[in-house]
Copies of this chain bind each other. A is one copy, B any other.
């Protein structure tokens, strides 16, 4: 893959690719979107999206690993875990906005 970057190359498609991969999960973007409205608990996100627990956990962990969201664990019973955007996550929002705007224009009339 990596577009040949031998000697001559234009800066390759790469930076964008990273983002693509970060956001590649089926639910990543929706989760980010929901978190723009503020902190959410695990169960809330599950309700909002309808994702199964296993998948939700996986997606959240990946977003966390990519540094887009934070996971606050309140180490008590009953368990309570809240998810929120990191600074990096917030800095990503304009992209979501732009995507939303583009989408509405592109799909207007459907």
A residues at B contact (CB < 8 Å): 1-4, 8-11, 13-20, 23-24, 26, 28-30, 33-34, 37, 48-51, 67, 88, 91-92, 94-96, 98-107
In the complex, what distance in Å separates the CA atom of A37 from the CA atom of B11? 12
Query: In the docked arrangement, what's the CA distance between A48 and B88, Å?
Result: 31
- The answer to whether A29 and B17 have CB atoms under 8 Å apart is yes
Residues of B within 8 A of A96 (CB): 16
Which residues of B sit under 8 angstroms from A49, Cβ to Cβ?
A: 1, 3-4, 11, 13
Copies of the chain in the assembly: 2
20 more CB-based (< 8 A) A-B contacts, given A3-B48, A3-B50? A3-B49, A4-B48, A10-B50, A11-B48, A11-B49, A13-B30, A13-B33, A15-B101, A15-B103, A15-B107, A16-B29, A16-B99, A17-B29, A18-B103, A18-B107, A67-B106, A91-B105, A95-B98, A95-B102, A98-B98
- Are B50 and A1 in contact, with the CB atoms below 8 A? yes
List the B side residues contacting A91 at CB < 8 Å: 102, 105-106
Pair B50/A14 contact, Cβ less than 8 Å: no
